[in-house]
Amino acid sequence: MVSDSALSRLLRSRVTKFLGGRSQAQKALRATLARLREHCSSAVFFGGILRDLMVFGPSPWLRDVDIVIDDKSMTDVASLLRRYIRRRTRFGGLALNVHGWRIDLWPLSQTWAFREHLVKGRDFADLPQTTFLDVEAAAVDVFKTGRARRIHSHGFFEALRSRTIDVNLVQNPYPDLCIVRSMLLASRLGFSIGPRLVDYIVHYSEKYDLEELLEVQRSHYGLVRRSIRDLRFWIRGLKEHHRRSRNDPFPLPDVEGLQQDLWASTNWEFAAESLARLKQDGPSSVARSEVAFD
């Protein structure tokens, strides 16, 4: 089994490569983050961007980024980035479009679970406890300060190792969206759905009809990603699994028979060994795609 420390090194490596790309879009992102650093003492990448970097690598199509910053910097940052603001979010943050990057940025204390007193603490280290899904429960320093970027996690690496997504914090203001996102994400990643998440979906799917779950997709994504037929097929499967076994993960079936095995190129043992060789033998010992460690 690959250790958390090995996966942490891999995550740092992929964050560094993600920030070091040579495309015009990546240069624009770096420039924006450099300006952000002038007005912000602390910031972390959070959630889905870290999940996707670990599963897919620093792919050029990764354009959605969540950044959480220290509270005292928010006023200055809003002024600094005002020309990129698309809208202000319901929880006191900013939705930005920076040269094609869709960035959600908000102050630490305005994280919903902190505001509702569902998670104790107000530090970046506590942030991973606030996500609905464990596979998004990670935060990594945006700014490098002469040391390895700090990583905070809460079940994140366990989810990657087991290839299973499960509930991290059950309370959430949008259970209908949680149902839809969880199933779509499990399908996209090729992950199983863990027992707590099976319970959650089975319970809340009784409160929403399929048309409502279709509308949730339109509202959140701007389009319908899975049809009523697909949603019905998945939910029926989850309910049947729930009746038979409440302790085992459920491998979400691919309703179209087109799902690729995304994990064919995500071999944690190989990645960890490659990183170890790099530290011992230098960059020539491994593929260039995994060279940077910071």
The residue with greater pLDDT, 56 or 22, is: 56
Give pLDDT tens digits for 205-262: 999 999 999 999 999 999 999 999 999 999 999 999 999 999 999 998 875 543 334 3
pLDDT-derived band at 73 (thresholds 50, 70, 90) equals confident
Closest by CA to 159, choosing from 178, 186, 177, is 186
Task: Give residue 155's pLDDT.
Answer: 97
Give pLDDT tens digits for 82-93: 899 999 887 779
Least confident of 14-18, 76-80, 156-160, 228-232: 76-80
Closest by CA to 134, choosing from 189, 91, 59, is 189
Average pLDDT over residues 109-117: 94
The residue with greater pLDDT, 264 or 135, is: 135
Mean pLDDT of the chain, nearest integer: 86
Domain spans of the chain?
Answer: 4-164+262-290, 174-251
Class of domain 4-164+262-290: alpha beta
Q: Tell me whether residue 18 is exposed, middle or buried, using C-beta atoms within 10 angstroms of its C-beta: 0 to 12, 13 to 18, 19 or more.
A: buried
pLDDT-derived band at 271 (thresholds 50, 70, 90) equals low
Structure tokens of 121?
């603490």
Task: Give residue 255's pLDDT.
Answer: 59
Task: Give residue 293's pLDDT.
Answer: 26
User: Does position 156 have pLDDT exceeding 50, yes or no?
Assistant: yes
pLDDT-derived band at 278 (thresholds 50, 70, 90) equals very low
Q: Give 274's DSSP letter.
A: H
